[in-house]
Amino acid sequence: MKQLSRRADDYRLVRRDVVGRILKNRPDLLLIGGLGPASWDCTAAGDRDLNFMLWGAMGGAVPIGLGLALAQPDRPVMVITGDGEMMMGMGSLALVAMQQPRNLHIVVLDNERFEETGGQLTPTAGCTDLQLVATGCGIEQSATIRDEVQLQKLIGEMYVKPGPAFSVIKVRAENEPMVTAPKDGNELRIRFRRALLGVA
Ligand SMILES: Cc1ncc(C[n+]2csc(CCOP(=O)(O)OP(=O)(O)O)c2C)c(N)n1
Ligand 1 pocket, 62 CB below 6 A? no
| Closest ligand 1 atom to Cα of 38 | 21
Q: Read off the pLDDT of residues 153-168 as tens digits, 9 standing for 90 and up.
A: 999 999 999 999 999 9
Q: Please say if the pLDDT value at position 60 is more than 90.
A: yes
> Residue whose CA is closest, atom 1 of ligand 1?
58
Q: How confident is the model at residue 1, as a pLDDT? A: 64
Is pTM, for the whole model, over 0.85? yes
- Mean of all residue pLDDT scores within the chain: 97
**CA geometry: angle 166, 101, 190, nearest 5 deg:** 95
Q: Read off the pLDDT of residues 25-55 as tens digits, 9 standing for 90 and up.
A: 999 999 999 999 999 999 999 999 999 999 9
Which among 80, 146, 134 has a CA at the least distance from the CA of 107? 80
Percent of the chain whose predicted confidence (pLDDT) is above 70: 100
Which among 53, 79, 47 has a CA at the least distance from the CA of 66? 79
Q: Read off the pLDDT of residues 80-117 as tens digits, 9 standing for 90 and up.
A: 999 999 999 999 999 999 999 999 999 999 999 999 99
Other C-beta atoms lying within 10 Å of the C-beta of residue 10: 8
164 CA from centroid of ligand 1 (Å): 25
Nearby residues of 116 by Cβ (< 8 Å), 6 or more positions away: 35, 36, 37
Q: Please say if the pLDDT value at position 190 is more than 70.
A: yes
How far, CA to CA in Å, does 195 sit from each of 82, 105, 153, 190? Answer: 26, 21, 31, 9
Cα–Cα distance between 184 and 17 in angstroms, integer?
27
- Confidence bin at 2 (pLDDT 50/70/90): confident
| Closest ligand 1 atom to Cα of 56 | 25
